[in-house]
């Protein structure tokens, strides 16, 4: 049985269409990544699936239960770690977990045993009786995750769990999520706008753009589905030349997109295409700082299905 089913979900806020016919499914026991730039509709999807908002139309089921018809049954079956922490920073880590357990009707020795298990699982045993305000960013986020697990949910939602963390803390959180998936036998839905995070953690991903799923599958399968290689050209002088470079490269490769201070294109063979691209740019008076070629990535998958660079759309969505 699928642990999560979303079919043709639609949701609008005033003049913004947050979800525009979004559909995907998550298998029982799977780590599934909902990948997309800021503003793509990921968090709205999670809010629908966790009963925090109602869809305008469509079907949403979690753990076999309709989220609109039976929201309380869904809430008892899920754990939810939102982008914004719900932890009491003036309480200790242990006190936060005990409180969460009591909210779910737990108590006595079973609750204390569960709290001890979670403190060990997320690496907070030694800091359990310290006030949470003094925790590092990574420790606070691990405590957030633990609070979502106290009542042993069937499905765990992690909404942008590493946003705001430094690279070291983010890598540590990846290890924690992998450990959770192995030891807790959970279905995990992870939303992220970090391409490498989805590639590292998710068994399958749904790539979301403008409220719709544009591609779904295993990361490696999605990348293998793209033929050729990507070529990235970085210019010596960006101002006023990006458009020229985009035009020249598109004439050679048949496609080109500006991505920050670079221009990217897909070609059948990078080694053969690079000399032609460099020659054409030189003829146009566009100076090149560097050029690289690589096998397909999730970034290329996104570009292939949407025609837009992931990083550029992410910046637009964040603003």
pLDDT at 319 over 70: no
Q: Start-end ranges of CATH 3.30.70.980 in the chain?
A: 227-295
Residues 6+ apart with CB under 8 A from 52: none
Q: Which of 74, 68, 48 is nearest to 153 (CA)?
A: 74
Q: Strand order of the sheet with strand 2-13?
A: 16-27, 2-13, 57-62, 65-66
Q: b/e for 102-127, b at 16 or more Cβ within 10 A?
A: eeeebeeeebeebbebbbebbbbeeb
* Residue-level pLDDT at 315: 76
pLDDT at 307: 79
How far, in Å, CA of 178 to CA of 22, rounded?
A: 27
Q: Domain 227-295 is in which class?
A: alpha beta
- CATH 3.40.50.300 domain range(s) in the chain: 2-223
User: Which tokens sit at 214?
Assistant: 């544009």
Q: What is the mean pLDDT of residues 92-121?
A: 95
Asked if CATH classification 3.40.50.300 holds for the domain at 2-223, the reply, yes or no, is yes
pLDDT at 300 over 90: no
Q: Which of 284, 281, 255 is nearest to 268 (CA)?
A: 255
Residue 33 to residue 26: CA distance in whole angstroms: 9
Contact assessment for residue 94 and residue 129, using Cβ atoms and an 8 Å cutoff: yes
Q: Is the pLDDT of residue 44 over 90?
A: yes
Residue 285 pLDDT > 80, yes or no?
yes
Average pLDDT over residues 128-142: 94
Taking CA atoms, 315 is separated from 11, 19, 137, 262, in Å, by 23, 19, 23, 15
- The average pLDDT across 276-305 equals 91
Give yes or no for residue 140 having a pLDDT over 70.
yes
């Amino acid at each position: 049985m699928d642990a999560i089913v979303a079919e043709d979900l639609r949701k609008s806020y005033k003049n913004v269409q947050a979800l525009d016919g979004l559909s995907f499914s998550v298998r029982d026991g799977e780590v599934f990544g909902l990948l997309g730039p800021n503003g793509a509709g990921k968090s709205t999807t999670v809010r629908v699936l966790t009963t925090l908002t109602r869809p305008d139309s469509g079907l949403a089921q979690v753990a076999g239960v309709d989220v609109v018809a039976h929201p309380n049954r869904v809430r008892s079956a899920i754990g939810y770690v939102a982008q914004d922490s719900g932890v009491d920073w003036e309480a200790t880590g242990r006190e936060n977990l005990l409180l969460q357990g009591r909210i779910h009707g737990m108590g006595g020795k079973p609750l204390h045993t569960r709290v001890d298990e979670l403190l060990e699982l997320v690496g907070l045993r030694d800091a359990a009786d310290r006030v949470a305000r003094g925790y590092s960013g990574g420790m606070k986020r691990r405590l957030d995750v633990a609070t979502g697990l106290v009542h042993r949910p069937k499905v765990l939602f992690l909404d942008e769990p590493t946003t705001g963390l430094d690279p070291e803390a983010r890598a540590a959180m990846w290890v924690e999520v992998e450990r959770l998936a192995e030891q807790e036998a959970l279905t995990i839905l992870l939303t992220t706008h970090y391409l490498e995070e989805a590639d590292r953690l998710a068994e399958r991903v749904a790539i979301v753009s403008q409220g719709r799923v544009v591609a779904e599958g295993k990361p490696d399968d999605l990348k293998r589905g793209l033929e050729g290689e990507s070529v990235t050209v970085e210019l010596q002088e960006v101002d006023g030349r990006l458009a020229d470079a985009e035009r020249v490269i598109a004439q050679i490769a048949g496609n080109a997109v500006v991505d920050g201070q670079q221009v990217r294109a897909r070609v059948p063979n990078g080694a053969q295409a690079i000399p032609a691209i460099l020659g054409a740019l030189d003829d146009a008076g566009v100076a090149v700082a560097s050029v690289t070629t690589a096998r397909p990535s999730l970034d290329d998958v996104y570009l292939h299905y949407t025609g837009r660079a992931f990083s550029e759309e992410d910046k637009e969505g964040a603003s």
